[in-house]
Amino acid sequence: MSCGDPYVREFQERGYRPGDEARFRAAWTKLEAAYLARLLQATEPFSEWRDRFHAGAAETVRLVEAFPGEARFLAFGALAAGEVGQEHRRALADRLVELVETVREELPDPDAVPAITGAWIVAMFFDRVYRACIRSEGPALRVELPELTFLAVSAYFGTEAGLEELLRRR
Amino acid sequence: MSSKTPAENPHLPDELAQLPHGRHGLPQEFVDLNHRERLIAAFIALVGEVGYSGATITGVLEGASVTSRTFYKLFATIDDCCIAAFDKGVEDLRPLLAEAYLEESEWPLQVRAALHALLADFAGWPELGRLLTVEPFVAGPELAKRHKAAIEEMVPFLREGRELRAGEPLPDTAERGILGAVNSMIGRQVMAGSGEQLESLLPDLTQFVLTPYLGAAEARLTASA
């Protein structure tokens, strides 16, 4: 997922500096586009939401592990870069929420599930990615993938469906 | 850099307002505590504006109206001040959440009450919400460790809900996932500048947290009670 932009490495080494805005935006845009393209590629073969969700989550985990510098840029860059970072982070989160929320087409009663469920799931995922980026000990993010899928499926389809999914993925 | 002087800071008790200049005859211990609390409050206010990455000792001094000599007497670095602010925030939250939890007798309502207390506290002081939910991921390993420990403290309270569940047990890490999501949802709202409306998240957060234990229908009932 490397976007080949030298700014990502510079950012890792010296952090965000005033005057970086244009380079930050350019690097973020390239990296986000590369990530979303990978995500769509990974989920495209599947017609059911649960499979798409799992494939997208697994691809994200793979990318975080394979490209830790880029993952840190997307995860923490937003926090270090002030308003410009926040704006980009919100846009990425909104795009991910949109993708997660496609599940509603499969729900018998979509209105019974809170409108912010997609945001909840993305928030949960961000939390695990953040932790994976900063920790030097503890289980790898991939170990947590089945549980994350369980929580996501449970939020839309109920606990028993979540547990079924968990057993299927283990 | 901070927008509030000590006198304007609503999170400073009266006894911690700026001390009179010159000889005041107050015990040194009291003076040190006053300075420490003011520096912590100024740090939290500053983080609310510029985040941990943008917080400087100069900004904290300005917000607390103390000298750099006083700062260095109490903290070795800005990181020390940050850790002290985080610890103080967690210490203050602990009894608040425990009291709310214990006020109810049934577990689902206990969870709802604790969530409400948490959201209400952060809504009243969104800068603290930011320090406790967002900054631990960027402020270095020590704060991350403390944040993880604070989340771990809440796990047993949530695990009590497993006793209400029949059928297959939940995955071991379910509680950490749920609490992490609560943390992120709060952080997201605070960073969007809507921290003062955090209490509006209560029904949905309650439903999300309770659903794995009670099922969607019962969780929804409790959430809307």
Reported as a single tens digit per residue, the pLDDT across B143-164 is 999 999 999 999 999 999 999 8
pLDDT of residue B8: 60
Average pLDDT of span A150-163: 91
Cβ separation B177–A148 shorter than 8 A:
yes
Exposed (0-12), middle (13-18) or buried (19+): which is B96, by Cβ within 10 Å?
middle
Given a contact cutoff of 8 angstroms between Cβ atoms, the answer to whether A38 and A48 are in contact is no
Q: What is the pLDDT of residues B15-67, one digit of tens each?
A: 556 666 666 677 778 788 889 999 999 999 999 999 998 899 999 999 999 99
* Domain covering B85-224 in this structure, CATH number: 1.10.357
Q: How far apart are CA B185 and CA A46, in angstroms?
A: 29
- With respect to residue A70, please indicate whether it lies within any of the assigned structural domains: yes
Decide if A89 contacts A78 (C-beta within 8 A).
yes
Residue A24 belongs to some domain of the structure: yes
In this complex, the residue of B53, B173, B181 whose CB is nearest that of residue A123 is B181
Q: Do A79 and B51 touch (CB under 8 A)?
A: yes
**In this predicted complex, what is the ipTM?**
0.84
Looking at residue A127, its pLDDT comes to 87
Shortest Cα distance, chain B CAs vs residue A158, angstroms: 6
> Domain extents for chain B?
6-75, 85-224
- Decide if A91 touches B, using CB distance below 8 A: no
In a domain, A1, yes or no: no
**Which distant-in-sequence residues (6+ apart) come within 8 Å of A91 by Cβ?**
A32
**Helix axes of A21-43 and A82-100: crossing angle, nearest 10 degrees:** 10
Residue A161 lies in a domain: yes
Query: How many domains, in total, are found in chain A?
Result: 1
Considering only residues B168 and A98, tell me which one the structure prediction assigns the higher pLDDT.
Answer: A98
DSSP state of B206: H
> Is B133's Cβ below 8 Å from some Cβ in A?
no
Give the gyration radius of chain A's Cα atoms. 17
Residue of B nearest to A87 (CA): B192
- Tens of pLDDT, residue by residue over A22-60, are 999 999 999 999 999 999 999 999 999 999 999 999 999
Is residue A16 within 8 angstroms of chain B, CB to CB? yes
C-beta atoms of A90 and B192 within 8 A: yes
Whole-angstrom distance, CA of residue A17 vs CA of residue A60 = 28
Tell me how far apart the alpha carbons of residues A105 and A116 are, in angstroms, rounded to a whole number: 16
Q: Which residues of chain B does A159 touch, with a Cβ-Cβ cutoff of 8 Å?
A: 165, 170, 211-213, 215-216
pLDDT surpasses 50 at B1 = no
Count chain A–chain B contacts defined by CB atoms under 8 A.
112
- Count of Cβ atoms closer than 10 Å to residue B166 Cβ: 4
**Inter-chain contact A127–B180, Cβ cutoff 8 Å?**
yes
Q: What are the residues whose beta carbons fall under 8 Å from the beta carbon of B191, sequence distance 6 or more? A: A86, A89, B130, B134
- Domain of residue A28 covers 6-169
Q: Is residue A94 part of a domain?
A: yes
Q: Give residue A73's pLDDT band: very low, low, confident or very high (50, 70, 90).
A: confident
The token duo for A137 is 């000990």
A144/B173 Cβ within 8 A: yes
Looking at CA atoms only, how far is residue B213 from chain A in angstroms? 8
What SS3 class is residue B157?
helix
